A and B are shown apart, each in its own frame.
Chain A
Amino acid sequence: MIKIENLKKSYSTTVALDDVSLEVKRGELFGLIGPDGAGKSTLMRILMSLLLPDSGTATLNGFDVTKQHKEVRHVTGYMPGRFSLYPDLTVEENMDFFATVFGTTVKANYDMVKDIYQQIEPFKTRCAGKLSGGMKQKLALSCALIHKPLVLILDEPTTGVDAVSRKEFWEMLKNLKAQGITIVVSTPYMDEASLCDRIALIQQGKIFSVDTPQQMAADFAEDLWAIRSPKLYPTAQKLHDLPEMISVNSFGQELHLVTPKGVYSAKEISDFLTDKSETEIQIQPTEATIEDVFMLFMTQHHTTQP
């Protein structure tokens, strides 16, 4: 459905995309995972034909995004990172406007947006600017869907939205996927990454890994330890002195310690901490989640920053 080859884009001195290649299959829910400034929005804007790449090609449903803007925009629905519907038009007026400029009506495509739009329909005479964050998101998604696109491109749709609304939003994406729509979504939230069919880890304009979130977690190549301690922070500080330590991050009530495969046993680490006068330590090996993968990926590539 989407094919990206050797895409490059720089803004004066900053490299936003550095030789990116990627393929998204039809009907897939594809996640772009990366920190702020990694190049996610740039990539999406190029796919939407809003931005021209310096070199490389990208096709969407077979249409070249640099030459066939019209076709690309007709088959794609886009939700920019920032809420960009008219705040001084009502919910209904926004919907009608975006339907009519695509040469259709809300009525004709009502089945497409029904599940989502029904939730905000009670507020249809309210100005879009006065909606809550979650409702704005739903309206934006409805407007992006109103012309029955084949592809949805969603730039951080859940940033700044409460946990309940985020959960609802991903339910909606699942339903849309079930209707055969290809979805590309970017997110900084790791828990959302595991809801995607496949994800790409992107950092400093480069794509490092593309796989299913499950496979990525399974491919975690190092040893991962879950450590419980009465005082997490001092324990974490002391673990930094462990000679072969790769990273220590706090995960809720635990610390996740990454060490190279087969270097330490649980006992060795426990002894190390006891030597440093830490008490009541519980340590056990644990399965990596996508968040561990991402954190490891970030530590490994952080050092290479210019």
Chain B
Amino acid sequence: MSYEFLVNDIRLMTYNLQLITYNMRILFYILQKEFIQIFRNKGMLPIIFVLPMVQMLILVFAATFEIKQVDMMIVDLDHSPASRQLTNQIMGNKLFRMNAFPTSATEAEQMIQASKSDLALVIPRDFDKKITLHQNPDVQILVDAINGNAAQLGSAYLSNIIRDFHKSILMQQKVAGAPEASVVEIESSFWYNPTLNYRHYMAPGILVVLITVIGMFLGSMNLVREKELGTIEQINVTPIKKWQFIAGKLMPFLLIGLFELIFGLTLAKIVFNIPFVGSFPLLFGISAVYLVLVLSAGLYFSTISDTQQQVTFVVYFLMMVFLLMSGLFTPVESMPTWAQNIDRFNPLFYFVRIMRGIVLKGAGISEIFNDFLALLAYAVGMFSLAIWRYRKTS
């Protein structure tokens, strides 16, 4: 008896094994066909090589919030030694470029109104007198807040200079023997990006944009093209399984996406010399999961669209929202709480964090585990959704 069972077991096993190899062989033929078509497409090679070069070489330089110069004015109503000393101290700072010396605060306001200057410092008439009398002198800072970053940074720098100036005045006036005024000195040291190089911060983020574009667009366009040409009709009458078809559309672009990552990282290393401190295998593993996610999302939208136009619009719209909310350009922490909650559904939000964490901080799996888990669950869900939504029968 047990012998017969064994024979049956073996028979069942070989049958299952044959079934698996048969299914895998079909997937292999589908992949072979996809690759032939992809590389026969004349537009494909430029996309693969030009896209990353343009993004890495132009965007990383251009997409910067670094403030190099703030145009400012000083309205000196006092014309005293003290006001001149303060003016000199400000002019000595490279950040500020004096572009006018208006004679009144109203005139300065008009200049700001006309966007001719970002910042104005108004030194009042009794500035020197108050200092001599050991009173606290007031100065006024007018800021054009349209360019929020320049305004914030400029006024912060200016406040610092004024504080230094005030401190040096106090030192000069210090009566011998009196106890020294205690001042808290703040020294900052910037971890993970010690020179505050903006490009080191941007390059990993731009890499994320790169593989997102590849993932979301190429796969979805490819599937909808089969619908437009009518070839999907012929595919649907073959025994190709739903998962095989979706996987066949997904895997070539997964490989292309990973290739883009290598290519982009190489460019980043050569051109910007970004300090790659993390683990390559970890980055690649997570990027593969992320690519499955964005590809599946693209494929899902192409199963519910009929034309390339429709799917391009939907995918483009989503990508814009995801990208601007991802924390790539603006910190997520400064978004309102409800927006931060929405961001939990944004795959780019997780991936930008992971990418910067691994490349710049050398984060290991334990540091990014939660983000990775979110991506993984999202990827599995999206892949299943795409397979489920693809119909061979309508």
A interface residues, Cβ below 8 angstroms from B: 48-52, 69-70, 73-74, 76, 78, 80, 82-89, 93, 97-98, 100-103, 143
Contacts and interface: CB of A to CB of B under 8 A. Distances in A.
Interface stretch (B109-117, B151-159, B237-245, B251-259): B237-245
Given A50-B392, A52-B393, A101-B30, A85 B237 contact: no
A85 B36 contact: no
Most A CB atoms within 10 A — which of B29, B36, B232, B234?
Answer: B234
A51 B229 CA distance: 19
A72 to B, nearest CB: 9
B41 interface: yes
B309 interface: no
Given A50-B237, A103-B239, A84 B230 contact: yes
B132 interface: no
B29 A101 contact: yes
A89 B37 CA distance: 7
B40 interface: yes
A85 B26 contact: no
12 contacts: A52-B394, A73-B238, A78-B237, A82-B233, A84-B231, A85-B231, A97-B29, A97-B33, A98-B238, A100-B26, A100-B29, A101-B240
B236 interface: yes
B394 A51 contact: yes
Most A CB atoms within 10 A — which of B41, B238, B394?
Answer: B238
A101 B26 contact: yes
Given A52-B394, A69-B392, A93 B239 contact: no
B61 interface: no
Nearest to B238: A101
B237 A143 contact: no
Interface residues of B, number: 24
Interface in B19-45: 22, 25-26, 29-30, 33, 36-37, 40-41
A88 B238 contact: no
A87 B229 contact: yes
A83 B230 contact: yes
A73 B29 contact: no
Contacts of A100: 25-26, 29
B21 to A, nearest CB: 11
Nearest to B240: A101
B33 A49 contact: no
Given A49-B393, A52-B393, A73 B237 contact: yes
Contacts of B393: 49-52, 69
Interface string B267-280: 00000000000000
A170 B271 CA distance: 66
A103 B22 contact: yes
B231 A73 contact: no
A88 B231 CA distance: 11
B33 A89 contact: yes
Contact of A84 (B36, B41, B234): B234
A85 B234 contact: yes
Nearest to B37: A88
B237 A101 contact: no
Nearest to B231: A84
A70 B234 CA distance: 14
B29 A84 contact: no
B237 A48 contact: yes
A50 B232 CA distance: 11
Nearest to B394: A51
Contacts of B29: 97, 100-101
Interface in B214-266: 229-234, 236-240
A88 B40 contact: yes
Most A CB atoms within 10 A — which of B26, B29, B33, B237?
Answer: B237
A69 B229 CA distance: 23
Contacts of A84: 229-234
A93 B22 contact: no
Contacts of B36: 89, 93
Contact of A143 (B26, B30, B234): B234
A276 to B, nearest CB: 52
Contacts of A82: 230, 233
A70 B233 contact: no
Most B CB atoms within 10 A — which of A48, A51, A83, A101?
Answer: A101
Interface in B336-386: none
Nearest to B26: A101
Nearest to A140: B234
A300 B184 CA distance: 102
A86 B226 CA distance: 9
Contacts of B392: 50, 69
A50 B233 contact: yes
B245 to A, nearest CB: 10
Contacts of B30: 101
Contacts of A103: 22, 26, 239
Most B CB atoms within 10 A — which of A51, A84, A93?
Answer: A84
A189 to B, nearest CB: 22
Contacts of A102: 238-239
Which 7 residue pairs of A and B lie closest in terms of their CB atoms, listed nearest first? A84-B230, A100-B29, A84-B234, A82-B230, A78-B237, A101-B238, A80-B233
A74 B234 contact: no
Contacts of A101: 26, 29-30, 238-240
Most B CB atoms within 10 A — which of A49, A83, A100, A102?
Answer: A100
Nearest to B33: A97
Contacts of A88: 37, 40-41
A173 B230 CA distance: 24
A301 to B, nearest CB: 29
A267 B138 CA distance: 122
A214 B41 CA distance: 52
